[in-house]
Amino acid sequence: MAHADRKTRRVKRGIDVLRDPEINKSIAFTDAERDALGLTGLLPSGCDTEETQVQRVMLQLGTKNTDLERYIYLNNLIEINEKLFYKVILSDLPRFLPIMYTPTVGEACQKFSHIFQRPRGMYLSLKHKGRVKEVLRNWPKKDVRVICVTSGGRILGLGDLGANGMGIPIGKLQLFTACAAVPPQYLLPVHIDCGTTNQALINDPLYFGLHLQRVPIAEMDEFVDEFVTAVQEVFPGCCIHFEDWAGVDAMRLLERYRDRVSCFNDDMQCTGAVVLAGLFSALRVTGGKLIDQRILFFGAGSAAVGIANLITSAMTLEG
């Protein structure tokens, strides 16, 4: 399937090449490439190197006053020239990670419907009940390896942001590519819209999610089950990454699907693994055993519960 996608892209010519962020190099196309692809005359005469393109982006970023403005700029860049976007991010990861993900993504999600320019990923809502499989087939890539999906029910520490929470799956999968070199064509961010408990969003005319209160658990579970089942058929072998669901939903869904399909919950499992690794590393310095430690949790969100569960398991194994 991936080969078919590449074959389709190769036949593009002229302006269609410049409109495809996966293959567009803008002024970096050589004269020979411009002739071969029908781009001659559609670009300025000069030919940039990748380094020159990065310098131009850095110059333009310097005109932005806030990290949110830089976030918006960079997410527009990825829609124009995907390769350049990642070239910029990788040029200075410590600088750009806080812009593309936490903490800036939190503010971006709070304002996501207001700063929205063009869609990324897929938006599934209760309006699609009974035909999720059909809707998933609208995604242009047929070889999807990882889906990062959220309900927006508990975005970072900001509460229920509904469809505005889509910034989290988008940003998290960009990290998959930037930090782990996972090809972006294999990644799909998804938002499942079952309403929101955030009345301010429901009252906001610019909010682009469903303007209704979050539905009861049973109705949401039925829709999520349709989604998980559809993924197995449309994208066989795909791993489902549950991200930023409300705590009770996160725990329930993980228990339901962890032994049935390839899936994990980032907040409950991955965060817990990192914290546990940190504790073991600290104990190498301070001495002592994990079972002798007293650990305080602030709050009982999905991450805290996941960390507690993993630490408890480790203590049990330690004896």
Catalytic machinery residues: 101, 172
Evaluate whether 76 touches 64 at the Cβ level (below 8 Å): no
User: For the residues of 269-308, what is the DSSP string, one character each?
Assistant: IIHHHHHHHHHHHHHHHH-S-GGG-----SS--HHHHHHH
Residue 245 and residue 154 in contact, taking contact as beta carbons nearer than 8 Å? yes
- Give the span between the Cα atoms of 115 and 230, in whole angstroms: 31
Residue partners of 207: CB distance under 8 A and separation at least 6: 113, 162, 163, 164, 201
SS3 99: helix
Cis peptide bond upstream of 103, omega within 30: yes
| Residue in the block written with tokens 């029908």 | 38
Amino acid identity, residue 88?
V
Handedness of CA 296, 299, 304, 305 (dihedral sign): positive
CA distance 222 to 228: 10
β-pair partners for 241: 148, 264
299 φ/ψ sector (left φ>0, alpha ψ -120 to 50, else beta): left
